[in-house]
Amino acid sequence: MSSRRSRSRQSSSSRITDEQINDLVSKLQALLPEAGIRSNERVSAASVLQDTCNYIRSLHQEANDLSERLSELLATTDASSAQAAIIRSLLM
């Protein structure tokens, strides 16, 4: 926690360099789903942030949809067979 605190103190006097920001932005870009396709392009920080926002929203939506799907499945599936199937899929 102390290293984080000192970092934020320094940032208020803008000692965070552009290079550090660019590094963090490219790290983000690498995590986006189309990272492989776009790796050679020079994209602006603004578009990386935009794509990141869209990606997070789509993940949230997917989590919602999967929760609904799981809710339906648990209602209709026999408990023990569901458990067996889950354990099987995670161990194999």
Residues that bind another protein (CB under 8 A): 4, 7-8, 11, 14, 16, 20-21, 24-25, 27-28, 31, 45-46, 49-50, 52-53, 55-57, 59-60, 62-64, 66-75, 77, 79, 82-83, 85-86, 88-90
Q: Least distance in Å: CB of 74 to another protein?
A: 5
The torsion angle over the Cα atoms of residues 77, 79, 84 and 90, rounded to 10 degrees, is 80
Classify residue 3 as exposed, middle or buried by CB count within 10 Å of its CB (0-12, 13-18, 19+). Answer: exposed
Query: Considering beta carbons, is residue 37 or 90 the nearer one to another protein?
Result: 90
Neighbour count for residue 55 (Cβ, 10 Å): 15
Query: Considering beta carbons, is residue 37 or 75 the nearer one to another protein?
Result: 75
Q: Least distance in Å: CB of 35 to another protein?
A: 11
Query: Considering beta carbons, is residue 19 or 41 the nearer one to another protein?
Result: 19
